[in-house]
Amino acid sequence: MRKLLDAFGRKLIIIIDPHFKNTNGYNIVLKFNDITIRTKDDDIFEGHCWPGASHWIDCFNPASIYWWNGLFDYTFFKGTMENTVVWKDMNEPSVFNGPEIIMPKDNLRFGGWEHRDLHDLNGMMFHNATYHAMMTRKEGSQRYGATLPGGNQAS
């Protein structure tokens, strides 16, 4: 299908979110690398989103961004081609069982900051990280990106 889309000059759009299902594979990686958002008690924050129980990457931690960028490499992101583009979603970050459908404001981010202080920067940081990750795949791929104002009442 990807090759057929490419032959017709079409792009394949995939949707990704900044959280990972709490499963053994990713859970171990996230814990080992200490790249997740933490609770006020310094435990890994777990909330619920589309995949169920999930953990969120701390996009303010340089180690998190380095790890995130590696996920977009062709050798890791198997089956993708130059005609694959990314739709980033749920950057609020959305947490279905959180207060106001977002994560608790007293969650801890890299550098000891509380989420309440960085909430509005979160989406921008993830878009920036994903932009740089896509640029490592093929220079110029960012020109196929678009901006979705979001699914909130303000937009």
pLDDT of residue 41: 97
149 in a domain, yes or no?
A: no
Mind listing the pLDDT tens digit for each residue in 5-17? 888 888 888 888 8
Give the count of domains, the chain.
1
153 in a domain, yes or no?
A: no
Question: Range of 131's domain?
Answer: 2-140
Q: What is the Cβ-side half-sphere exposure of residue 155, based on CA atoms within 13 angstroms? A: 6
pLDDT per residue rounded down to tens, the chain (155 residues): 778 888 888 888 888 888 888 887 776 677 767 899 999 999 999 999 999 999 999 999 999 999 888 888 888 887 777 778 788 888 888 899 988 899 999 999 999 999 999 998 988 998 888 888 887 776 655 555 555 555 555 54
65 in a domain, yes or no?
A: yes
151 in a domain, yes or no?
A: no
49 in a domain, yes or no?
A: yes
154 in a domain, yes or no?
A: no
Write the CATH number for 107. 3.20.20.80
What contacts 24+ positions apart, CB below 8 Å, involve 4-13? Answer: 5/83, 6/81, 6/82, 6/83, 10/83, 11/83, 11/84, 11/85, 11/144, 12/80, 12/81, 12/83, 12/84, 12/85, 13/84, 13/85, 13/86, 13/87
Mind listing the pLDDT tens digit for each residue in 93-105? 889 998 889 999 9
